[in-house]
Amino acid sequence: MNRASGVLMHISSLPGEYSIGSFGKEAVEFIDFLSDSGFSLWQVLPFCMTDECNSPYKAYSSFSGNPFFIDLPTLYKEGLITKAELDAAKQKSPYLCEFSRLNEERIALLKTASARVGDRKKILDFMSEHPYLDNTARFLSLREANGETPWQEWTKTEPDADTLFAWQFIQYKFFEQWQYIKAYANGKGISIIGDIPIYVATDSADVWSNPSQFLLDKRNQPTSVAGVPPDYFSEEGQMWGNPLYNWNAMKKDGYAWWCDRIRYMLTLFDGVRIDHFRGFESFWSVPKGAKTAKEGKWVKGPGKALINKIREVAGDKLIIAEDLGDITPAVSELLDYSKFPGMRVFQFAFLGDENSPHLPHNYTNNCVAYTGTHDNNTLLGYVWELDGDTRMTALEYCGGYEDDWNVGCEKIMRTMLASHADRVIFPIQDIFVYGSDTRMNTPGTSENNWAYRITEEQLKNVDTNKLRRLNKLYSR
């Protein structure tokens, strides 16, 4: 393995003029920034459609693309939207995703574009070749036909033909535009790492079309739901609410749905991170109707049988195991068996003793080290909020205490680049050395998450020469 480094930033956080980051020229410019800075990895969050809280970890379909990432100027150049429609879609602020406006206006605009398609054959052929995407389009169009109610309440069984094609067009355009961006990145020596949420939403195409693969009652409602016990992020634990897999049923068909999911993701990305890997060993099952996640219990997962299938499908592609949280010897044994690199997070380094796997001197080669993840505070915010003694220890560990915490953050990043970890990845906020007001997500909360965006000016103010020197200095 060649030592490598990269940046964690979702597509939604890219600059642009249309309320959210997209697969437009700004994505190309960000790839140029990565290349100029000596990075070779770009990690993103899940690409699927988001839920009502704008979270990409609870979606209407695992096999889907977020329509908001479709680049409008490209559609204008193709003659699918007018100049007036393009101008009307311009944002009011460049600093945050304008989710309310997107939810009210963007799908309608994309439907208008779909109605202007002359020859539909290419799109329909693409759907025939990608049945999971066609299934997603059918689910979403049926959901509209049934007044946007959950699928368990549907009475209409046939979608409107124009609505169905609109969703087929949306998914086609998403993947057409993304393939251009990915090819450009690969041509510049940048590999893209995607993200697979371990669970899916109850109201999703996944559960609607495969109910036997999930633990549901006679009304197709979950008998128990996913979550995690009390941890670093929440004293009450986290009640995610996703339906749990029927692992016995999945085992009987050779984990076909999971194999299809991994195979599909590896057509989109050069590697993927599997969220909540420990759920494959044991998962936290919360009874239906429980008031908090504390009422749950650990239940054995599929273990090595599923890992074997994932390795078979993935081949030599990168699979990152998110092994954070309550990690038992059994989880560590499964990770060792998988040979997948686990995750190390600097912000967890000083929560335990000198044996903490998150201390850089304890990193193995086969891991991916992060200053923080999308669920953490920014690095500067973390240093700012530490108690005085822990802050002193953390900064001393990385080369000496500094009253200027910006310098302290740079020393932390240098320490990680110098570590044995094969791969080191920094959230874009840590590249900018920004504070906690720019964090992406605060677990256990449903407000003010996922909206962070960067601007072109902020990106241009980064010293790419300095970053390139650091990556070269530490053989990244």
Q: Which of 26, 71, 206, 322 is catalytic?
A: 322
Q: Which of 71, 206, 375, 410 is catalytic?
A: 375
The CA distance from 277 to 293, in Å, is 19
Q: What's the gap between Cα 178 and its chain centre?
A: 15
The CA distance from 313 to 394, in Å, is 41
Tokens of 268: 């989109």
The CA distance from 322 to 273, in Å, is 7
CB atoms within 10 A of CB 429: 27
Task: Measure the CA angle with vertex 361, ends 472 and 333; round to 5°.
Answer: 110
Strand duo 282-287 + 271-274: pairing: unpaired
The CA distance from 72 to 316, in Å, is 36
The CA distance from 379 to 347, in Å, is 8
H or E element in which residue 192 lies: strand 191-196
The CA distance from 369 to 346, in Å, is 8
375 catalytic? Reply is yes
Tokens of 127: 């759907």
Q: Is 193 helix (H, G, I), strand (E, B) or coil?
A: strand
DSSP assignment of 339-397, as one string? Answer: T--EEEEGGGTTSS-TT-TTSGGG--SSEEEES--TTSPPHHHHHHHS-HHHHHHHHHH
The candidate with the shortest Cα–Cα distance to 124, out of 81, 159, 164, is 164
Q: Which of 98, 275, 323, 430 is catalytic?
A: 275
The CA distance from 23 to 47, in Å, is 12
The CA distance from 19 to 190, in Å, is 26
275 catalytic? Reply is yes
Sign of the CA dihedral running 99, 6, 27, 466: positive
The CA distance from 418 to 348, in Å, is 18
Which residue has 């494959």 as its token pair?
280
82 φ, ψ (degrees, to nearest 5) = -90, 165
The residues that bridge with 216 in the sheet, in sequence order, are 222
State the catalytic residues. 275, 322, 375
